[in-house]
Amino acid sequence: MSSAAAEVVRLLTVRGGTVAVAESLTGGLVAAELTAAPGASKAFRGSVTAYATDLKHRLLGVDATLLAERGAVDPQVAAQMAAGVRKALGADWGIATTGVAGPEPQDGQPVGTVFVAVDGPSSGVPGSVHGGKVASLRLNGDRAEIRMRSVRSVLALLLEELAGEQTKNERAQDTEQNGGF
């Protein structure tokens, strides 16, 4: 278990939040990292390992035209996977991985091309959508290294978003306490 996974679980548990995972190239490794953290059952809703491209559409709602035109290794696909798993599994946050771990290129993308995404709630407005954030990665190494670095990257992206949400909440509380100033 990584310290990032433990920190994600800790932060979500403290805030009463949940996360769901959509994975392609990582094949369940992100879910395994999160569930290795003590207390994960309080924050982890579940995961969908959509390794096959058609499952990205059928299970996660990724646009079929996008998949047909660009393939599965695309930043918009990653964003739609994160949003789709969040909705499908009823989580506050959705995270996703898609890319090429090798040994061969895929969808016209070279080995090491990876997109990780986060989709989460907007702070302060019930029912509103935060939207997503996608990171484009060019990773070196063998298949195992690319997959593990993808896991670390998506967890780091989620931590970054959770930290940003905390800062926004603190600013809103401070403004409220100071009469709107």
Distance of CA 168 to the CA centre of its chain: 20
The mean pLDDT value for 82-104 works out to 97
pLDDT at 86 over 60: yes
**Predicted pLDDT at 175:** 47
Residue 143 in domain: yes
Percent of the chain with pLDDT over 70: 85
Q: Is residue 111 part of a domain?
A: yes
Q: Name beta bridge partners: 133.
A: 118
What is the chain's mean pLDDT, rounded?
90
Per the domain annotation, does 181 fall within a domain? no
Residue 125: pLDDT above 60?
A: no
Cα separation of 30 and 129, whole Å? Answer: 23
Beta strands 113-121; 93-99: pairing state: antiparallel
The residue range of the domain holding 36 is 3-174
Cα Rg of the chain (Å, integer)? 17
In a domain, 52, yes or no: yes
The reported pLDDT for the residue numbered 165 is 77
Q: Is residue 179 part of a domain?
A: no
Structure tokens at 71: 């393939």
**What's the half-sphere exposure (Cβ side, CA atoms, 13 Å) at 22?**
38
